Amino acid sequence: MSVDLNSEEQAVTTQIERFSSEVLAPAAAEIDAKSQFATLHRAALAEMGIMGMNLPEMYGGIGLSGPALYCAVEAIAGACGSTASMLTAHFLATDSLLLGADEVLKQRVLPAAAAGEALGAFALTEPMAGSNPADMRSTATRDGEGYRLKGSKCFISNAGEADFIVVYAKTDNEAGARGVSAFVVEPGKTDGVDIGKHEETMGLRGGHVFPISFDCHVPAENRLGDEGTGFRTAMKVLDNGRIEVAAQATGIARAALDAAVSYAKEREVGGRPISSFQGLQWMLADSATELAAARALGLQAARKRGTGERYSSDSAFAKLYASEAAWRIADRALQIHGGYGYTRDFPLERYLRDLRIFRIYEGSSEIQRTIIARELLS
């Protein structure tokens, strides 16, 4: 499916595709096997402007449109899912500031984040508040000229190397979602931030996630916007994040389908390539169709990003369909490879492991269905 990009964006995405193929893809298997943190690519990503490609030029970014950003994330994920996971987690943090912070805080944090000099993390999920973040138990109470932040978060991508963490906590326990506020916490400059060992995960093994506990002071100037606006900011950020999850899913699915097509042309049974068998052709056709549909939904949502239009349902459509279709595409691709697909000599088993989380994080498939149904019935 072709994407209408201007000449500058086309040049940027072409450069990112080449970088992904030449630099990220060759290192992906080792990152996975050794569970190396994908921040090892951070300097190279920063040099290309990729760390700030979701941000406007006024904050040091390259200001890609929604569709161009989709294509860029897709290319990176197809080469190395762990690197894409680390990168898009950084985007969740910078999007939080872009959408929720005042100008002073934006100018203080975003240029360094765009340059790759500061790595961000997005801390919303808690042990007892995953699919329903309004149930969070972390609190931020007034403490002199700032706040005393107390609580714990889990599965926080990038936290172990983050220079700043956008933390969501309740400033009013009686107000539900309207009592949630957001704060920038700088762990290297703040006492009382305890980041545990990264989790050993099934997939995206280089996209490390960490538990965090807080009992620290946060200056008032580190609050994003007014008290009580944090939940609204987080939901807007997740609308963007779900499009990026769709892009990661279609990027990995496309890599799996390409591998399956190539293998089917080369592998012979009875003197004939297996691509000549109709049953296998239909498997490839189903995968190509699902990939095209997933990309169409992802790009439909991406075109609305930054326009002022509502796109919560569009991003839910994209994440739901892409995350589930990508699993089916990669599963067929592994099946086409037979026993070889089950070995680590081929990337298919890694693709499947990496894809599995996309149906869970940033709102599970069940939550996406709830969002879509609520909009239909409203």
Provide the annotated active-site residues: 362
Q: Count other C-beta atoms under 10 Å from residue 56's C-beta.
A: 16
CB atoms within 10 A of CB 271: 5
Residue 135 to residues 3, 119, 138, 173, 175, Cα–Cα distance (Å): 40, 27, 9, 10, 11
Euclidean distance between CA atoms 366 and 23, whole angstroms: 36
Exposed / middle / buried, residue 147 (Cβ in 10 Å: 0-12, 13-18, 19+): buried
Please report, as a single letter, which amino acid is at residue 76: I
Residues 6+ apart with CB under 8 A from 250: 74, 291, 294, 295, 298, 322, 326
Burial readout 96-134 (b: 16 or more C-beta within 10 A, e: otherwise): bbbbbbeeebbebbbbbbbebebbbbbbbbbeebbeebe
119 vs 83: CA distance, rounded Å: 13
User: 337, 344, 300, 303: which is closest to 322 by C-alpha?
Assistant: 300
Phi, psi (rounded to 5 degrees) for 200: -90, 105
Cβ atoms of 291 and 257 closer than 8 Å: yes
Decide if 185 contacts 118 (C-beta within 8 A).
no
- CB atoms closer than 10 angstroms to residue 374: 12
Distance of CA 366 to the CA centre of its chain: 18
Question: How far apart (Å, rounded) are the C-alpha atoms in residues 181 and 85?
Answer: 25
**224 contacts 96 by C-beta, under 8 angstroms:** yes
